[in-house]
Amino acid sequence: MSAQLLISGVIFGLSLASIYFLISVGLSLCFGLMRIISLDQLLYYSVGAFLAYTVSTLTGNFWLGLIAGVAVGVVLALAVERLIFRRIYERELTFSMITSFGILLGGIGAIKGIWGVVPKPVPVPFDNQISLFGTDIPVYRLLVVVLAGLVYGGIWLFLNRTIIGKAIRAGIEDMEHVEGLGINAARLFTITFVLAGALSALAGGLYAPLIMVDPHMGLEVLAFVFMVVIIGGLGSIKGTLYSSLLVGQVVSIGSLIYAPLAVMAPFAMMLLILLVRPTGLFGAALAK
Amino acid sequence: MSEGSPLARRLSVEGLNVSRGEARVLFDIHLHLDANEIVSCVGRNGAGKSTLMKSIAGFLAVQSGRVTSDGLALSGLPPYEVARLGVKYVPQDKKVFSDLTVRENLELGSYATQDHNWDRPLTFFPKLKILMDRKAGFLSGGERQMLMIGRAILGSPKVLLIDEPTEGLAPSIVSHLKQVFTELSKSAAVLIVEQNLPLVCSISDRVYALKEGRLVAELTQRDQMKPKVCEDLL
Amino acid sequence: MMTATWRWWRGILITFGVLAALRFVLPLPFMNEVLIFSIYTIGCNFLLGRVGFISFGQPAYLAIGAYGTAFYLFYFGTNPYLGILVGLAAGVIFAFIVGLLFVRLRSDYFALVNLALAVIVFYMFQKVLAGITKGDNGLWFLTNIASTPILNLSRPAEFFVFVMLLGVAIWAFYKYLDDTVFGACCLATKLNETKLEFLGYSNFRIRLTAFVIANSTTALAGCLYAIYLGFVSPEMTSPARTADPVVVTILGGVGSLLGPIVGTVVYTGLRDVASKFIGNWELFVGIILVFIMMSNSGGLYGSLEKLLNRWKRVNG
């Protein structure tokens, strides 16, 4: 394999990792704080992509589309949290899994109804390439990576430098004590859930120009996102970061070597890791 | 029996019945706290002491009965609302937010109460000043207990529910806590659940005895409050 | 005594009696589909209702069974019974190997990992093994199915009789399981692991056995689909399909023995009727799922609680 191929493979893997990370971090936070599995995040991902498509096609401006995608994703997430999740926080984990899957599926159906089944292209805002290490890299892909990095930085700042972020970290460890201090649990949950939705929608919007936008895109990414979350461990942001990078590279380089490896390799890796550490690399233990 | 309508009480529990799953744990509990009192609740393991506190604080659902503070109903409120109303619960588990520093732990205490004056916690527990930037996970048991109480008294709560504070702590820390509780009672009503009978008998104004989910006695006279008497009751 | 036996068999015989009667009222394809789908669901129901594991990956085992049968009939022979045996064997082996890895996991990881499995299997059949599976085109072998003596499986009416008999056997088997210590153990493994270990049982072995039983049943349903349709394709394990058995399980009542049949009738009926109006598959399933979950005031484990009480009484 040539060096150029390898380098572009690495960049491709990094951009994949960025998308996985944005979705997974929300999933992990929701699990860590609220003890729910929020499969519907994949819906906000799809919504982000579809709105990006519609608005960018209408206005000719991709960035407006991206913003629209995030905005609608946020509103949708807020509605879902208020109407549905708020009533089921106390329940078993599997309850939220099934319910959120229902929301995801229903949402896909709604998307099908609104946009139809034909995949839609979203034009890349700029298709310049720059030369890195002797390889031509699309600037947009690099931008995706940079943006994801900025988001990670932003999340870090939020969780470590703001009082609400600290309350969330405290809540991930022990929600009872947080409530005992008089902190409004319901509001904390809503903020976290909506944040996750925003990140997922951002992922969808950002990824849209790199793929064809279609109603089942959420389901296609689902397995990979789960492998990331499982490998990294539910509830750990750091774990999510590392495992996104890992899975991103494995998928990318793997597909260069032998196409099916793109799917088999992360899966095999996940199984291996689970054998050794049944809750993932940095997984949080479930307080029963 | 003390007199006074429930409305006057800092904390009033009437006819409390609590079940955990299918099993009934608390039977028809009546107790009250007046301002500036230290009241203890003693009982063996499994008697229901923690359940009682958790129910008052809103962490457990109540089958029947009423809990009020200064006339305001607490039953049915979520725990953070109960805390907002000035009834603070300090659990038995000696847990603090380990990934956050002592300073950040206190900040969270300040956050909901909007009380950023740390004079009182730091006067009670000067050691916390030295530990400010240490991650709370590295604190000893006694230090954690101090942090937990320090956090809880931010916002000047009217009622403090403290669950087995001296369990597993060194005598020097226990006597320090004794002084702290006495000081605290000057501005709040304190309900302490304890197994440490000598401690209880030395600082309490009143003692409730809890046996297998029922209140079997209320001691109001100082001369009644001897460890031996409590032992016999239980 | 006769009455005790009758009481034991009553529910099953009556249900299948009703199904047999319905066969003359409702279209035969519908009835065949209902039967096979019920068998598909009972595995999921057993896993969720007894062991407390939810699996979004049932389609994987369905596909293994179906493709096992398909390979046999496409490449090797023509006897449908042998085809079923081959598919079932594949299912059992696959479930055992996968189970060894999966069963140790916590319930949420278990669910997610099974979901990933379904996607992997889908991908395998669609792309990786396209050489032998013919990818999305699927395998067609309807003409390969030989006529068999007694019951000619290649004819839908007789196939129906076969599946009915099989169904009675399967339901009797699961009911029998319920009554055994093993059945009680499955329940216990969900509710109180530590106690079970203290009593000397191995949680792992109980779960593994339950896992293999449930998923082999699912694989068997796959074999039946293969015979019935004379055709398999990767679509049966596509991500959109992963919710099917879960929805039906919930519809019919988690943990209830005859629930899968009731749930399937309702679900398939609704689907066929609604598809004329809604035409939008996912929307329909999604809304039903959310609706059921939200209105389920007894909780997903409401029926489980009743079973727990029964277990408590049995064990004193």
Could you report the per-residue pLDDT of C17-67, keeping only the tens digit for each?
A: 888 888 888 888 888 888 999 999 998 888 887 777 878 888 999 999 999
Q: Which chains touch B (3 or more CB pairs under 8 A)?
A: A
C287·A106 Cβ contact <8 A: yes
Say whether pLDDT at C258 is over 50: yes
C171 phi/psi in degrees, rounded to 5: -65, -35
Say whether pLDDT at B175 is over 70: yes
Q: Residue A42: its pLDDT value, please?
A: 96
Report the distance separating Cα A40 and Cα A103, nearest Å.
6
**B26-35, C168-177, C288-297: the lowest-pLDDT one:** C288-297
Q: Residue C306: its pLDDT value, please?
A: 52
Say whether pLDDT at B3 is over 70: no
Name the one residue in this structure whose structure tokens are 């008998």: B201
The answer to whether C213 and C46 are in contact (CB under 8 A) is yes
Say whether pLDDT at A236 is over 90: no
- Sequence letter at residue C33: E
Nearest to B185 by CA among B154, B220, B159, B163: B159
Nearest to A105 among C48, C285, C300 (CB): C285
Helix (H, G, I), strand (E, B) or coil at B92: coil
Exposure letters C76-92 (e unless 16+ CB within 10 A, then b):
eebbbebbbebbbbbbb
A219·C240 Cβ contact <8 A: yes
- Sequence letter at residue C122: F
Question: Going edge to edge, which strands form the sheet with B214-219?
Answer: B87-90, B159-163, B189-194, B38-42, B206-211, B214-219
Min Cα distance A160 → chain B (Å) is: 9
DSSP label at residue B101:
B
Q: Residue C74: its pLDDT value, please?
A: 83
- Sequence letter at residue C175: K
Phi/psi class of residue A134: alpha, beta or left (left: φ > 0; alpha: ψ in -120 to 50)? left
Q: What is the DSSP string of C126-142?
A: IIITHHHH-GGG-EE-G
Helix (H, G, I), strand (E, B) or coil at A54: helix
DSSP label at residue A18:
H
Helix (H, G, I), strand (E, B) or coil at A212: strand
pLDDT tens-digit map of B111-126? 988 989 999 999 999 9
Instruction: Show the CA angle centred on residue C304, arms to residues C299 and C308, nearest 5°.
Output: 135
Q: Residue C278: its pLDDT value, please?
A: 63
Count of residues for chain A? 288
The answer to whether A283 and A236 are in contact (CB under 8 A) is yes
Which whole number is the average pLDDT over B132-143? Answer: 92
Phi/psi class of residue B214: alpha, beta or left (left: φ > 0; alpha: ψ in -120 to 50)? beta
Min Cα distance A166 → chain C (Å) is: 26
Q: Which residues on A lie below 8 Å from B79 (Cβ)?
A: 176, 179-180, 185
B29 phi/psi in degrees, rounded to 5: -85, 130
Which whole number is the average pLDDT over C288-292? Answer: 82
Question: CB contacts < 8 Å between A and B, how many?
Answer: 71
Nearest to B188 by CA among B46, B7, B47, B11: B11
Report the distance separating Cα C203 and Cα C188, nearest Å.
9
Give C104's contacts (C-beta < 8 A, 6+ positions apart). A278, C204
Q: Residue C309: its pLDDT value, please?
A: 54
Percent of chain C whose pLDDT exceeds 90 = 14
C282·A106 Cβ contact <8 A: yes
pLDDT tens-digit map of A16-46? 999 999 999 999 999 889 989 899 999 999 9
Which residue of C lies nearest to A277 if distances are taken between CA atoms? Answer: C105
Say whether pLDDT at A205 is over 90: yes
Give C58's contacts (C-beta < 8 A, 6+ positions apart). C40, C43, C44, C114, C118, C215, C218, C242, C244, C245, C246
Report the distance separating Cα A196 and Cα A202, nearest Å.
10
- Sequence letter at residue B203: I
Say whether pLDDT at C299 is over 50: no
Nearest to C258 by CA among C3, C30, C16: C16
Nearest to C283 among A87, A110, A270 (CB): A110
Say whether pLDDT at C301 is over 50: no
Alpha helices in A174-236 (DSSP H): 175-180, 185-207, 217-232
Nearest to A178 by CA among B118, B100, B184, B122: B100
Say whether pLDDT at C303 is over 60: no
Q: Give counts: helices (H), strands (E), chain C.
A: 14, 2
pLDDT tens-digit map of C214-241? 999 999 999 998 888 888 888 887 777 7
The answer to whether A30 and A196 are in contact (CB under 8 A) is yes
Q: Residue C1: its pLDDT value, please?
A: 56
Greater confidence (B199 vs A146) lies with A146
Arithmetic mean of pLDDT over chain A: 89
Which whole number is the average pLDDT over A59-70? Answer: 93
Q: Which chains touch A (3 or more CB pairs under 8 A)?
A: B, C
pLDDT tens-digit map of C136-154? 788 887 777 777 777 777 7
Q: B159-163 and B189-194 as β-strands: parallel, antiparallel, unpaired?
A: parallel
Report the distance separating Cα C240 and Cα C250, nearest Å.
17
A181·B79 Cβ contact <8 A: no
Report the distance separating Cα A103 and Cα A121, nearest Å.
25
Which residue of B lies nearest to A179 if distances are taken between CA atoms? Answer: B80
Percent of chain A whose pLDDT exceeds 70 = 98
Report the distance separating Cα A244 and Cα B116, nearest Å.
40
Torsion sign across C-alpha atoms C141, C143, C144, C149: positive
Which whole number is the average pLDDT over A187-191? Answer: 95
Which whole number is the average pLDDT over B37-52? Answer: 89
Tell me the pTM. Answer: 0.86
Half-sphere exposure of residue C165, counting CA atoms within 13 Å on the CB side? 7
Report the distance separating Cα C163 and Cα B136, nearest Å.
64
Helix (H, G, I), strand (E, B) or coil at B22: coil
DSSP label at residue A284:
P
pLDDT tens-digit map of C104-122? 887 777 877 888 888 888 8
List, as ranges, residues 134-193 from A with C-beta within 8 Å of B: 163, 166-167, 169-170, 173-174, 176-186
The answer to whether C53 and C115 are in contact (CB under 8 A) is no
Which whole number is the average pLDDT over B22-29? Answer: 89
Arithmetic mean of pLDDT over chain C: 80
The answer to whether C234 and C135 are in contact (CB under 8 A) is yes
Q: Residue C297: its pLDDT value, please?
A: 45
Say whether pLDDT at A8 is over 70: yes
Exposure letters A89-125 (e unless 16+ CB within 10 A, then b):
bebbbbbbbbbbbbbbbbbbbbbbeebeeeebebebe
Which whole number is the average pLDDT over C252-261? Answer: 81
Percent of chain B whose pLDDT exceeds 90 = 56
Exposed / middle / buried, residue B178 (Cβ in 10 Å: 0-12, 13-18, 19+): middle
Report the distance separating Cα A30 and Cα C199, nearest Å.
37
Q: What is the DSSP string of A246-257?
A: HHHHHHHHHHHH
B112·A182 Cβ contact <8 A: yes
Say whether pLDDT at A250 is over 60: yes
Residue among C282, C284, C297 with most chain A CBs within 10 A, to mutate: C282
Report the distance separating Cα C288 and Cα A213, nearest Å.
26
Residue A223 touches chain C, beta carbons under 8 Å? yes
